[in-house]
Amino acid sequence: MTRVTVDAEGGGRHDARMTLPRADVTTGIDSELQAFEDLLRSLDADDWAKPTRCEGWSVADVAAHVVGGMADVVSGRLDGLGTPEVTQREVDERRGRSPAELADETAGVRKAAADLLAAFDDDSWSSRAPGGYDGSLGDGVEALWFDTFVHGNDIRAAIGREPARGDGLRASLSHLATELTKRGWGPATLAFDGFPELPVSGGGRDIDGDALQFVNAATGREDAAAIGLDEAVNVYGG
């Protein structure tokens, strides 16, 4: 297996868990939001109503959550972000809106997010995230990138399209390494072809194979046993 290893500057292997470089995350989330907007603009009414692999959610609900979460962040509504109650509010507030309407809102929050992120320096990036998030500001922004990428693929799966990969997958692996370390999973090293090696809980046995399949297993979207892992790898598990 050919391995690609980077540190925070892009040069050597990670020795500790950290977010991806600030410039990568700020440009990456901007590109991901553009891709999400484009995805919404490509949907019709039949697509909008289809059920997704997120239990109880239609494509419209998934889109409302993604756009609503970003709208809450850029407007400073951070209390309870990510809780079931706030997530449901985000969906309810957008009930009945069309794909084009949510695409337009995505364009607006994308610009607001870019303006907000441009104001942060390296010290701000490494400081504690506001709103009670368990991690740095950089970790929190990377989590938003992950959320947009994964839910974009939830929509693609629901309407029969191929999943996205690329930089959003890189961000998802980085975020999951952080979350699994918080949970004490491992020790292990995420060692997927074409992506940086990422230690979990200090690093240990290599986890390799298909990176997207790992992301799906680690978020409860696929059976972890299919890739030789147990259900504890699911960061949303009990």
Please check the confidence at residue 66 and state whether its pLDDT lies above 90. Answer: yes
Place 12 in a pLDDT band, splitting at 50, 70 and 90. Answer: very low
Please check the confidence at residue 8 and state whether its pLDDT lies above 50. Answer: no
pLDDT at 238: 62
Residues 41 and 66 sit within 8 Å (Cβ to Cβ):
no
pLDDT at 3: 28
Q: What is the mean pLDDT of the chain?
A: 91
Q: Give me the mean pLDDT over the 35-42 stretch.
A: 98
Can you tell me the distance from the alpha carbon of 160 to that of 156, in angstroms, rounded to the nearest whole number?
6
pLDDT at 2: 25
Please choose, from the candidates 117, 222, 212, 136, the residue with its C-alpha nearest in 3D space to the C-alpha of residue 178. Answer: 136
pLDDT at 130: 86
Instruction: Give the global pTM.
Output: 0.91
Q: How far is CA 135 from CA 22, 107, 114, 142, 181, in A?
A: 15, 27, 21, 11, 12
| Angle subtended at Cα 31 by Cα 117 and Cα 90, rounded to the nearest 5 degrees | 70
Place 18 in a pLDDT band, splitting at 50, 70 and 90. Answer: low
pLDDT at 76: 93
Please check the confidence at residue 7 and state whether its pLDDT lies above 70. Answer: no
Q: Is 69 helix (H, G, I), strand (E, B) or coil?
A: helix
Please check the confidence at residue 34 and state whether its pLDDT lies above 60. Answer: yes
Can you tell me the distance from the alpha carbon of 87 to that of 96, in angstroms, rounded to the nearest whole number?
16
Q: In this predicted structure, which of 72-81, 130-139, 201-210, 224-233 has the lowest mean pLDDT?
A: 130-139
Q: For 22-233, which CATH superfamily applies? A: dinb family like domain (1.20.120.450)
Q: Give me the mean pLDDT over the 137-162 stretch.
A: 97
pLDDT digits (tens, 9 = 90+) for 92-143: 999 999 999 999 999 999 999 999 999 999 999 999 998 888 889 999 999 9
pLDDT at 58: 98
Place 13 in a pLDDT band, splitting at 50, 70 and 90. Answer: very low
For the chain, domain boundaries? 22-233
Can you tell me the distance from the alpha carbon of 80 to that of 86, in angstroms, rounded to the nearest whole number?
6
Nearest-10 Cα torsion for 202, 138, 60, 95: 130
Contacts of 172 (CB under 8 A, 6+ apart): 146, 149, 150, 215
